[in-house]
Amino acid sequence: MEDKQNLVSERTGSLGCIGWLIVILSGLFVFLLFPVTIWFCFKTVQEYERAVIFRLGRITDRKPKGPGIFFILPCTDSLVKVDLRTVSFDIPPQEILTKDSVTVSVDGVVYFRVSDPIASVANVTNADFSTRLLAQTTLRNVLGTKNLAEVLSDREGIAHSMQSNLDEATDNWGIKVERVEIKDVKLPFQLQRAMAAEAEAAREARAKVIAAEGEMNASRALKEASLVIAESPSALQLRYLQTLNTIAAEKNSTIIFPLPMDVISHFMRK
């Protein structure tokens, strides 16, 4: 910020004797041809614009003019209008090699505005074009330090890092970067198929683990049930009757009646 103020101060120095002489002659010329020159002396800028005035090549004031109407000398003054509205632009897709040597294509969008009209005119040739180029290189530099997993999962962190870097780099240009967003991350087709196969294998493995856990829990429950039935023989008879009730409810033509082995052994001894 101090460097930017120093640059502006250097450009707003004194005009010198010859400069002031030319300004006085220009003022006399305007006064003599007042009915005609009045139309060239007054300028207007919109609410969202500011005007940077150069007098004999030097910036006349540290603050820009506007909005509204103001006075200039037509022979010695020239003005540059600066738009203060927020500008958005797309970052073209960038082929980037991540930290773990994976090539991805990433694009994004940047929102910025002019915060200091004088610095945006005096410190850089084309602030808009320079910001666009810097956004492309910043995207490549930031993503080059990330792994593929971080690029896919931490978009918000990457966007915040890009915004901080861009805002710091464009501060001397009078540019304020308001927001940066990562739009899309495109992976190679073969890598997409490999990741899909890996995810499918992981889902199948989890399904097998869940099925095995279910069988283990069922076997434990059966073991506990067998212990209860062994302690009470009448419970086994109730289980037989419950099974018959279940089979009868299904309207089957054939009913299998389980017969205890001790009854059959009694008739076989006879």
Domains of the chain: 17-82 (no CATH), 86-190 (3.30.479.30), 209-268 (no CATH)
Q: What is the pLDDT of residue 167?
A: 92
| Cα gap 79→59, rounded to integer Å | 9
* Pair 135, 111: CB distance under 8 Å: no
For residue 110, the tally of other CB atoms under 10 A from its CB is: 25
| Cα gap 38→140, rounded to integer Å | 53
Say which amino acid occupies 231.
E
DSSP state of 112: E
Q: Running along the chain, 270 residues long, what does each successive block of 10 average in pLDDT?
A: 51 63 72 73 88 84 85 83 92 88 89 93 91 92 88 89 92 93 85 76 87 88 78 71 71 63 62
Handedness of CA 151, 201, 101, 91 (dihedral sign): negative
3-state secondary structure of 43: strand
Which phi-psi region, left, alpha or beta, contains residue 16 (left: φ > 0; alpha: ψ -120 to 50)?
left
Q: Please give the structure tokens belonging to residue 47.
A: 């609410």
Q: What is the pLDDT of residue 4?
A: 55
Q: What is the pLDDT of residue 170?
A: 92
